[in-house]
């Protein structure tokens, strides 16, 4: 797969409600190299694709009178909400996804179901080499809140490994990165299955502990602002990660929330591609693909 890889952040989430099969399929159609499901658990131990375990912002749970009494408070979450770990998968399947960002279209609200990770892996496999793609589609699942879920008896390590077994990953080896903001789950996965490619997510400057992460991770997924200073110079993070043998996949590129310093999405992609990133998490994978192709075209002209 030619770098930088284009990772469809929550699917084609700039256009359709995030973390739905329809949003992942659109991302595939728009040229994504990887689709990115965030994962949380249901009460009966299934992994479903959601960014948050609270459900009110991205589903119609508040319209379901039968679930009114599930609204509750949880340690670590402000205010009341409905939480994935209080619902069975069968109950989750009665919900429909909705757009969370106010500036984005709500036309598809109420139409799409919440997928399981098994369904996301099935979609990935259906877009493998056998689907006549030159390069097999990849999948880039994130373990959300692994410490919290383990504390209530829901453990990502066995659950994810079991899902990968069911998806025949050890035979098919479709492109896969597993990511987390919490080092412990990545260490557990590296210990149980050293063949998995793992990405340590980093949000804050003080968490740039790259030498530590290189012991178990194959790369880092940093907040993009950690990679350059306000003069547009590299902070050295990419160079250090590369020297340690790790890839760098920053997040999140959003054409509808472009930083002021860039005149266009392409200018932002060009800046980070020039900086040396190995991939980008983007809500608008068609814009990333266009920037990548334009760059390739420029290289050909210079030959």
Site size with ligand G3P, rule: CB under 6 A: 10
| Residues numbered 122-161 forming contacts with Ca ion, rule: CB under 5 A | 142
The reply on whether position 217 binds ligand G3P by CB under 6 A is: no
Q: Of the candidates 99, 124, 179, 282, which one interacts with ligand G3P according to CB under 6 A?
A: 179
Q: What is the 3-state secondary structure (H, E, C) of 66-120?
A: HHHHHCECCCCCCCCECEHHHCCHHHHCCCCECCCCCCCCCCCCCCCCCCEHHHH
- The interface mask with ligand G3P, positions 122-141, x = CB under 6 A, is --------------------
The whole-angstrom separation of Cα 83 and Cα 119 is: 21
The whole-angstrom separation of Cα 266 and Cα 180 is: 28
- The interface mask with Ca ion, positions 76-115, x = CB under 5 A, is ----------------------------------------
Q: Of the candidates 33, 85, 91, 142, which one interacts with ligand G3P according to CB under 6 A?
A: 142
We find the least distance from the C-beta atom of residue 19 to ligand G3P, in angstroms, to be 10
Q: Which is nearer to ligand G3P, 145 or 201 (CB)?
A: 201
The reply on whether position 18 binds Ca ion by CB under 5 A is: no
Query: What residue is closest to Ca ion based on CB?
Result: 142
Q: Which is nearer to ligand G3P, 124 or 179 (CB)?
A: 179
The reply on whether position 38 binds ligand G3P by CB under 6 A is: yes
The reply on whether position 24 binds ligand G3P by CB under 6 A is: no
DSSP per-residue codes, 103-170: TS--TTTTT-PPPBHHHHHHHHHHTSGGGT-SS--EE--EE-SHHHHHHTT--HHHHHHHHHHHTTHH
> 252 preceded by cis ω (within 30°)?
yes
We find the least distance from the C-beta atom of residue 132 to Ca ion, in angstroms, to be 29
Nearest by Cα to 76 from 151, 174, 187, 3: 151
The reply on whether position 281 binds ligand G3P by CB under 6 A is: yes
Give every CB contact of residue 161 below 8 A, 6+ residues apart in sequence.
189, 192, 193
């Amino acid at each position: 797969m030619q770098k930088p890889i284009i990772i469809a952040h929550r699917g084609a989430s700039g256009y359709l409600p995030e973390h739905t099969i329809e949003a992942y399929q659109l991302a595939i159609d728009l040229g994504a190299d990887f689709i990115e499901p965030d994962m949380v658990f249901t009460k009966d131990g299934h992994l479903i694709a959601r960014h948050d375990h609270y459900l009110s912002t991205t589903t119609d749970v508040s319209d379901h009178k039968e679930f009114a009494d599930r609204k509750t408070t949880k340690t670590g979450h402000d205010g009341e909400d409905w939480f994935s770990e209080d619902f069975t998968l069968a109950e989750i399947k009665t919900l429909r996804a909705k757009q969370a960002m106010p500036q984005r279209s709500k036309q598809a609200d109420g139409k799409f179901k919440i997928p399981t990770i098994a369904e996301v892996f099935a979609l990935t496999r259906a877009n493998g080499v056998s689907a006549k793609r030159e390069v097999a589609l990849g999948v880039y699942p994130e373990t959300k809140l692994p410490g919290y879920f383990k504390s209530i008896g829901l453990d990502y390590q066995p659950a994810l490994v079991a899902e990968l077994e069911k998806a025949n990953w050890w035979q098919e080896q479709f492109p896969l990165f597993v990511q987390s903001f919490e080092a412990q789950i990545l260490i557990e996965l590296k210990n149980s299955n050293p063949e998995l490619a793992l990405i340590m997510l980093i949000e804050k400057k003080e968490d740039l502990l790259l030498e530590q992460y290189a012991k178990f991770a194959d790369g880092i997924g940093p907040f993009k602002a950690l990679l350059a200073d306000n003069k547009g110079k590299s902070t050295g993070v990419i160079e250090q990660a590369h020297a340690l043998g790790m890839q760098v996949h920053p997040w999140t590129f959003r054409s509808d929330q472009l930083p002021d310093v860039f005149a266009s999405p392409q200018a932002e992609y060009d800046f980070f591609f020039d900086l040396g990133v190995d991939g980008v998490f983007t809500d608008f994978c068609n814009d990333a693909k266009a920037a990548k192709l334009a760059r390739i075209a420029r290289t050909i002209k210079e030959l």
